[in-house]
Structure 1
Amino acid sequence: MVDTAGLPARSAALRMLDAVLRRGDTLDTAAGAMRSMPSSDAALARAIASEVLRRLTDLDELIDSATRQRLPDDAKVRTVLRMMLVQALRMDTAPHAVIATGLPLLTGGPRRLAHGVFSALLKREAKLPEIPTLPPEVEARWEEAWPDRLDAIAAGLAEPPLLDLTLRNPAETDLWAERLDGKVLAAGLLRLPRGRAVDGLPGFTEGAWWVQDLAAAIPAMLLGQGEGRRVLDLCAAPGGKTMQLAAAGWQVVALDIAQRRLERLRQNLDRTGLSAEIVRADALEWSPDAPFDAVLLDAPCTATGTCRRHPDVLHRIAGRQIADLTELQDKLIERASGWLKPGGRLVYATCSLEPEEGEERAAKVTLSPDPIRADELPAGLLPTDRGWVRTDPGMLPEIGGLDGFFVARFRL
């Protein structure tokens, strides 16, 4: 393979896409295999792979319009063409650079085919739609679940998300907004432009903040100030909600089953100077020594609500995965409900756009509802008629959107 500048990043992007689309790996897992690459190459590879996954349906429609015989979905030449087109049409890469770094990924006939298709589409000034077309199965699911929100959700996927930060000390919101040139979303929550290296920003080293999407910050916010009370953060890693709770004065027990994710939680606590008792255990087998004043269950889920930043979920998740996870969610809710003190609160949350993982699970909870109020939420968000919270990527477009989340609160 020719040693062309930029070629290693394109080769890595090709491997990432193969891992996601053929093996069903997450994009994070696929990107993790690129740790030995220079950070600039790894970032570019992920950006290309993410944009292909965001625009896959529309890219394939363009490719199919320029070929006499439809290329197989898993054909290498199709994936390379997806990458070439998305760079030219969405990432403002010059066509000669696209060709120089794309064609070396192929040999023989496929190389000539890719060159011909790419050149033909550029010659006819092909374009991608402003709003991505959802994969057919995803569109069918979400049209049934959210018929009035489908177009807005698709529009919310058009661009990668901005950078949201949660502050260790909400009293310093204005200070850090000025230092970081950020927009205030709520007390202790800031939004910055994308594309800035997180570990180089002011406040990172001293642990003044951590990265956390606006929607992901809501569940812990709904437990309020801890005042020394005990809370269990169930399925806690990588630690954003643990740090929120600790900063709000809770005595936190942070439980998770994944050793690697717990290590990230420890690193985050060390950096921010916050403390929590860390427990590595299976929540379906573990039991606490004493009940808690509150339990935060951010349950394992399909994570389809994070499709702005993890567009691989649009292509990996289907009905089977949803059904498997709802069974686990019910078991976790049942166990968590039994670990509360009288009057204790349970917050149940998922970063999913599937009602099976949100509204349908909450409707089965046997605890008393503790409705969420509008004045507890960031500006622009309102609770549902049942006192739950439902967000999606199409909401708050005036500030750049947010992830899809479901949140409900209950009391023993």
Structure 2
Amino acid sequence: MSTSETQKATNNPKGDTTGDTGDRIGSAREAAVRTLMAVTLKSRPLDVALDDITSSLDSRDRAFVMQLVMLSLRRLGSLRALMGRLVDRGLPRNATWTDAALITGLAQILLMRTADHAAVNETVTLVKNLSGKEKGFAGLVNAVLRRAVRERDALTGVLNAKPQADLPLWLQTSWRRAYGQDGMVAIARSLQDTPPLDISLKPGEDKVVWAEKLEATLMPNGTLRRALTDVTKLPGYDDGVWWVQDMAASLPVALLGDVSGKHVMDMCAAPGGKTMQLAALGARVTAVDRNKNRLTRLHANMKRTGLAADVYTADATAFGPRGSVDHILLDAPCSATGTLRRNPDVTWTKSEADVEKLTSLQKRMLDHAFKLLPVGGTLVYCVCSLERVEGEEQISAFLARHENAARRVITAADIGGMAELITADGDMRCLPSALADQGGMDGFFAARIEKHN
């Protein structure tokens, strides 16, 4: 397909409209609608959908699409509830384009504060250019969005009244049971905000100096935190002095202690943040992951930072390293509900059924990892999930199965003095609402296990 044909396909919703959706900004808004539909209707991963749908757009438009879709997904539940108030009789179930167009239009007016005339006019034009019955909803879209402009303050108040509205019911129930009503609401509120950019420095680099260079704040564990930006333009990126890694995700490696000269297996290693941590600390790393695409990112990260590891594409439930290992880090596949502020698509693409399947896989991985662990060795198990069945309950069941396994209690000194992250059992539990006044963190669970005779 030629460039002109690609652009034409991009500018025609469904490929069967009666005309072009308008100028460059119109194309970007259409791309946002397409991407939102791909995630919510087809459960496509957001990054994959964005790469596919925005391929013909320039960098500024792609950035606009990403911002609009991320915001629409973060606030999807409350935006849908608000739409129910603004559209008296509701939309027909098959009016999928109109529904997505209204969501993105309301997000622009009430949350992004883009130019009102652009948000209204371009969204209406997009619907007008649809084929079939949906083009008849252009007048409705126009009326709803113009009302949103007129009643912005009142509608914004309604939109922000119940942060839990942006969670599916199964997550509300799960988090209420685990963390109480107030805890659930606090987590939901923290997920509404755009997260900061967290950076891990190579050991030996002066954190204070780099904090100044990167215009960043030094966090308790040594992470550098700053506002989001194009990371490739920051000092030190090309030199491989640092890598991007959420503060919570950097904590599990610290639980292994001094790994210099030790052989550490990093199971489920891609995209490589923990592998780089281990290698930078002097460990001999065997990194394993079954996902070739994600391993491509790991190889690129290792090359940029000048770090080395033995990398294998393999199923971690059956993989055996060459020679014995000293320690094992198992960052197990999980529901990723702790990463919703960075990956809001997961909110609407994961379900309780997914959690059930993943807990079975985690159990097999834990048992296999423990078989490979030598007596006296340490296994750190972690998941970026807020579901207790994948964290606390998974470890309790594991310890019950293995008499020669013992929990090694995590201390505040292990994690930068953040004692509030340690559970009553001595594991680590990070919530997105923790350190809220400093930008929060991803949700994470980690436990440290030792093997005895």
Please give the residue correspondences for 1:9-408 in structure 2 after superposition, counting only pairs within 5 Å. 9-33=28-52, 34-72=54-92, 75-107=96-128, 108-125=135-152, 126-127=155-156, 128-129=159-160, 132=163, 133=165, 134-147=167-180, 148-186=182-220, 188-194=222-228, 196-365=229-398, 366=402, 367-380=405-418, 381-408=420-447
Alpha-carbon deviation of 1:24? 1.1
Q: What amino acid sits opposite 1:405 in the alignment? A: F
Query: Greater CA deviation, 18-27 or 345-354?
Result: 18-27
Q: What amino acid sits opposite 2:191 in the alignment? A: L
- Does residue 1:7 correspond to 2:34, yes or no? no
Q: What amino acid sits opposite 1:149 in the alignment? A: G
Structure with max Cα Rg = 2
Alpha-carbon deviation of 1:73? 5.7
Q: What amino acid sits opposite 1:358 in the alignment? A: G
Q: Aligned equivalents of 2:302 and 2:147: distance in 1?
A: 53
Which residue of structure 1 aligns with residue 14 of structure 2?
none
Q: Deviation per CA, 1:170-201, whole angstroms, max 9, x where unpaired?
A: 5421111011111001354100112x111000
SS of the residue corresponding to residue 219 of structure 2 reads: strand
After superposition, the Cα gap between the structure-2 partners of 1:165 and 1:123, relative to the gap in structure 1 and judged at 3 Å, is same
Structure 2 stretches lacking a partner, 5+ long? 1-19, 129-134
- For these two proteins, the number of residue pairs brought into alignment is 411
Q: What amino acid sits opposite 1:371 in the alignment? A: V
Normalising by structure 1, report the TM-score: 0.96
SS of the residue corresponding to residue 177 of structure 1 reads: helix
SS of the residue corresponding to residue 149 of structure 1 reads: helix
- The answer (yes or no) to whether the contact 1:358–1:407 under 8 Å persists in 2 is yes
Q: Deviation per CA, 1:306-347, whole angstroms, max 9, x where unpaired?
A: 000111111111111000000000000000011112210000
- The answer (yes or no) to whether the contact 1:256–1:280 under 8 Å persists in 2 is yes
Q: Aligned equivalents of 2:443 and 2:292: distance in 1?
A: 27
Q: What amino acid sits opposite 1:26 in the alignment? A: P
Query: Greater CA deviation, 56-65 or 374-383?
Result: 374-383
Higher helix share: 2
**Identity among equivalent pairs (%):** 39
